[in-house]
A and B are shown apart, each in its own frame.
Chain A
Amino acid sequence: MAAGAAEAAVAAVEEVGSAGQFEELLRLKAKSLLVVHFWAPWAPQCAQMNEVMAELAKELPQVSFVKLEAEGVPEVSEKYEISSVPTFLFFKNSQKIDRLDGAHAPELTKKVQRHASSGSFLPSANEHLKEDLNLRLKKLTHAAPCMLFMKGTPQEPRCGFSKQMVEILHKHNIQFSSFDIFSDEEVRQGLKAYSSWPTYPQLYVSGELIGGLDIIKELEASEELDTICPKAPKLEERLKVLTNKASVMLFMKGNKQELKENGELLPILRGEN
């Protein structure tokens, strides 16, 4: 019976009604992955995400899914800085290991699958993980000569300070790569500890923290920014490098594999008829 099956699926997502119940749950479910959906009855996206969760609960019975009415249990919501619904928190070993803000069904699925499949936790593993995290952060901060850790992306900044930072970097034609700290809770919290710097955005040059927006603004004012940060090569320079890349360079629309308007030219170049 379809109705019965739907009810059973919804029942699989338990509702947490109090802070005490939440603490109890964290202890009980320490051995497995616990996913908590902070929701509100007045937000339609939450209802949709509840359905997504129910489906995931069916597929992955070893994962525990619960929901908590954010406004109904304010102590828990405030403790985890829940500022909007839906928000999902991921727990393992009673520790928060990840977070998702917003109704992104594919992202939720990805995170659940990733955390569900990443082995069981042993206390000694925590030390191992901290080392891994530090190594990961070291790699990330060195990922490009100039790295910006920001909220959102340069195309779509999700915070006024991050937006200003990007504007300044663009204004001075500075070449940088960026990392959206909203995309990874582990990096978001880990980097704050790694660099002893509590806020975002954070700008790094050669793996070293230069500072946040305030510092970049002061460097801009004192004209030191240009000496510290690498510049993006001007168009002329880029063209020079590209045109000299090989003895014969074809500038075309699309790439060799997807023939587009230059379809006639390629066979000729390849020596075909």
Chain B
Amino acid sequence: MELSAEYLREKLQRDLEAEHVEDTTLNRCSCSFRVLVVSAKFEGKPLLQRHRLVNACLAEELPHIHAFEQKTLTPDQWARERQK
């Protein structure tokens, strides 16, 4: 079972055709992962649905990640946030 941050990042980038995936994990515990995903696939979707997309992408890996946090933005939202 591959659980490296790099593997997870790449999988999300691929499956969600993401513009940007960033590993923002704070405490480097081997079983925690915190990520920012920016994807056009999130357009028009409420938060719950966005998070479900991410959960589905990492369905195999999630049971083995003890602490998982995610933030989901559309490309527009991300552009606005970076301007702040």
Contacts and interface: CB of A to CB of B under 8 A. Distances in A.
Interface in B39-53: 47-48, 51-52
A214 B48 contact: no
A210 B62 CA distance: 19
A215 B47 contact: yes
Contact of B51 (A160, A161, A211, A219): A211
Interface string B59-84: 10011000111110000000000000
A215 B55 contact: no
B55 A211 contact: no
Contact of B70 (A196, A209, A214, A219): A214
Given A211-B48, A215-B48, A218-B47, A197 B55 contact: yes
A212 B71 CA distance: 12
Given A161-B67, A218-B71, A212 B62 contact: no
A199 B62 contact: yes
Contacts of A215: 47-48, 51
| A: interface residue count bin | 10 to 19
Contacts of A209: 48
Nearest to A215: B47
Q: What class of interface size applies to chain B in its complex with A?
A: 10 to 19
Contacts of B48: 209-211, 215
B62 A198 contact: yes
A229 interface: no
A98 B75 CA distance: 44
Contacts of A199: 62, 68
Nearest to B50: A215
Contacts of A196: 52, 55
Interface in A113-170: 160-161
Interface in A188-213: 196-199, 209-213
A132 to B, nearest CB: 25
A102 B48 CA distance: 34
A198 B69 contact: no
Contacts of A211: 47-48, 51
A184 B73 CA distance: 35
Interface of A: 160-161, 196-199, 209-215, 218-219
Interface of B: 47-48, 51-52, 55, 59, 62-63, 67-71
17 contacts: A160-B67, A196-B52, A196-B55, A198-B55, A198-B59, A198-B62, A198-B63, A199-B62, A199-B68, A209-B48, A210-B48, A211-B51, A214-B69, A214-B71, A215-B47, A215-B51, A218-B71
